[in-house]
Amino acid sequence: MTAVDDATRTDRPSPESSADPLPRTVTARRRVLLITGLALALAVMALVSAGTGQLYVSPAEVFGSIMHAVGLDLGPLPAHPNGESALWTIRFPRVAMSIVIGAALAAAGLLMQAVFGNPLADPGVIGVSSGAALGASATIVFGWAFFGEWTIAVAAFITGLAATFVVYFMSRSGGKTEVVTLVLTGIAVNAFTGAGLALMTFLGDQAAREQIVFWQLGSLNGSRWQQFWIVLPLIVVGVVVAFVISRRLDLLSLGERSARHLGVNVEGLRIVAIVVTALLVAAAVSFAGIIAFVGLVIPHLMRMIIGPAHRPLLVASVLGGALLLLTADLVARTAVPMADLPIGMLTSLVGGPFFFWLLRRARRSAGGWG
């Protein structure tokens, strides 16, 4: 920070000094640093997480196991006789699931925030996650199998999409959504989907009930490769589409009329963003249940570091979301010996207070619940 010249000192915030956080080169450097850092941290964390548990495998051995699997004679293989099978049948699917689901939730949160013009939007808070869970639980209770192994994901997508559209049409005015409206709409949608889930719990047999409760808590316990291969393409498609539309999302921040005057088909863009959001959330919820606040916390933190431009923000958020959920899952399965804590509980434990803080700040900065 530079000293302020007496001659230029006025009542307004001084231009050249304190409030000048992000010149172009600084921003670019920060982006590169953040994205590289997150990618490295994610890789290291994946090795550590895969090796940690009742049967310990060192990160080097985990690395070696992966390298040998892809045909490279690099690094040591797990010394423990069951190490290899523990990694490939239990740990790796779970690590892979936590990475893609974390990425999906963060990307979905970012998209919602852009569409609603409100940085407090999150699939869990708004009720899209529970909407998707409703579809998924109905599939279990009624034993639907229209689309084979994809049925759960398809049903979650349909109800999740319906929930998103409800919120979208209920809560917007003039191209943006006020905080109060957003939160209240979330309460309404969550109440409705909660009733639906309660009905499913009532109708379902013992096994279905357990499954529904598990959804409401959110957990990656029992992740299998088969689930991963269902979820992965959905999430890849979602993130790629989000990346493609990311520059237009920037223009949306100017308001819908100004965005249109800059050549953006606003309604079309919104529909695409909403469908992609529902797709990402459905993919995440189908096999991991409701994991709230990842989509709120991660884009927010990333925006604080590298600013609001959506393209770099999406890349950073995808990496950050993956890292967060990977770490949270490691905590979930190792914090209490012999127990697997619900990961949704952990993210809400951290995300709840964070949301609270954001709400307070939004109220203060807007002089009300703007």
Partner 1 sequence: MREASVALDARGVSVEIDGRQILADASIRVFSGEIVALIGPNGAGKSTLLAALTGDQTRSRGTIEIAGRPLDDWKLKELSQQRAVLLQENGVFFPFTVEQVVEMGRAPWQRTPLDHDDEEAVDEAIRLTDIERFRHRQVPSLSGGERARSAFARVLAQRTGILLLDEPTAALDLRHQEDVLRLARERAQTGDAVIVVLHDLNLAAAYADRIALLSSGRIVAQGSPREVLTVERISDVYAQPVEVITHPETGATIILPVRATARFRTALPRKASS
> By the criterion CB under 8 A, which residues form the site for partner 1?
12-13, 15-16, 19-24, 117-119, 176, 247, 250-255, 257-258, 260-265, 303, 307-309
- Rounded least distance, CB 318 to partner 1, Å: 18
Which of 15, 233 has the CB closer to partner 1? 15
Residue 217 corresponds to which tokens in the numbers above? 């808590």
- Rounded least distance, CB 10 to partner 1, Å: 11
Which of 120, 285 has the CB closer to partner 1? 120
DSSP codes of every residue in 304-330: HHH-S-HHHHHHHHHHHHHHHHHHHHH
Which of 94, 172 has the CB closer to partner 1? 172
- Rounded least distance, CB 27 to partner 1, Å: 8
Alpha helices in 120-178 (DSSP H): 123-126, 128-142, 151-171
Which of 10, 206 has the CB closer to partner 1? 10
- Rounded least distance, CB 109 to partner 1, Å: 14
User: How far is residue 324's CA from residue 334's CA, in Å, rounded to a whole number?
Assistant: 15
- Rounded least distance, CB 104 to partner 1, Å: 22
Q: Is residue 246 within 8 Å of residue 111, measured between CB atoms? A: no
**DSSP conformational letter for 9:** -
Unique residue bearing structure tokens 């269902």: 230
Torsion of CA 102, 305, 335, 105, to 10 degrees: -20
- Rounded least distance, CB 274 to partner 1, Å: 17
- Rounded least distance, CB 357 to partner 1, Å: 17
At a CB cut-off of 8 Å and minimum separation 6, what does 341 contact? 331, 332, 333, 335
Instruction: Count Cα neighbours of 163 within 13 Å in the Cβ-side half-sphere.
Output: 37
Q: Is residue 302 within 8 Å of residue 320, measured between CB atoms? A: yes
At a CB cut-off of 8 Å and minimum separation 6, what does 213 contact? 201
- Rounded least distance, CB 183 to partner 1, Å: 17
Alpha helices in the chain (DSSP H): 24-51, 59-69, 83-86, 92-116, 123-126, 128-142, 151-171, 179-203, 206-217, 225-252, 256-261, 266-288, 294-306, 310-334, 343-366
For residue 180, count CB atoms less than 10 angstroms from its CB and return exposed for 0-12, middle for 13-18, buried for 19 or more.
middle
